[in-house]
Amino acid sequence: MKRAFPKNSLGILLPVDSLPEDAEDALKVARVLDLPTLTIDLSATLAQFLQEMDKSGLSRERMAISNAKARLRMTALHYAATLRHSLVIGTGNQSELYVGYFTKYGDGGVDLLPLACLVKEQVKEVARYLGIPEELVSRTPSAGLYPGQTDEKEMGFTYQQLDRYILSGEIEDQAVKEKIDRMHRLSKHKREAIPCPSF
């Protein structure tokens, strides 16, 4: 987006109890793209939020906390976008969208998805074309929501399997096919407009 909007692009780093190397990698990408950045640490905000949830009697659960992190980040992005009269650009790609591997109203709550027509491997090709260091392009995909978390471990199959299935309909492992089909079916609500009654 920096090339499309060279004078009005901003990268915002939003650590929420995040690993320091995640910020370091984000800054490496920003330097390659000559993208100005700012950092807003939301860790204390999340802690306060969870304390208030605790007071209400609601229990803590890892997925709920992970989703809260993503939604908190999106709140901050839209706040900044409003102040700047800008749009929030998402990083979601076709692979993630197909199986619903994103947080509704979190990283899915964006204004534009320029990578939505590309599967994960094609996104890597674009990154290489833009000069992103190979160490970052080939890094194990992770949302960094909790220690040891990786996308593929969480999904239960590889991006290579998913990409091939999306592009060709071919897959060797029937169990993986069923898992992908199930995730696609169950995440339908994430890809559709909010249901409204018609009269």
What residue spans define the domains of the chain?
11-191
Q: Cβ(10)–Cβ(81) under 8 Å?
A: no
Identity at 117, one-letter amino acid code: C
* CA angle (142, 148, 153) in 5-degree steps: 65
Q: What pLDDT, on a 0 to 100 scale, did the predictor assign at position 16? A: 95
Contacts of 37 (CB under 8 A, 6+ apart): 10, 11, 12, 13, 26, 27, 30
Q: What pLDDT, on a 0 to 100 scale, did the predictor assign at position 142? A: 85
- Residues 75-93: tens digit of each pLDDT: 999 999 999 999 999 999 9
Intervals of the chain under pLDDT 70: 1-2
pTM for this predicted structure: 0.91
- Note the CATH architecture for domain 11-191: 3-Layer(aba) Sandwich (3.40)
Q: What pLDDT, on a 0 to 100 scale, did the predictor assign at position 3? A: 74
Q: Cβ(48)–Cβ(72) under 8 Å?
A: no
- Pick from 146, 127, 148: which is nearest to 136 by CA? 127
Q: What pLDDT, on a 0 to 100 scale, did the predictor assign at position 1? A: 67
**Is the Cα dihedral 151, 153, 155, 156 positive or negative?**
positive
Return the H-helix or E-strand segment holding 90. none
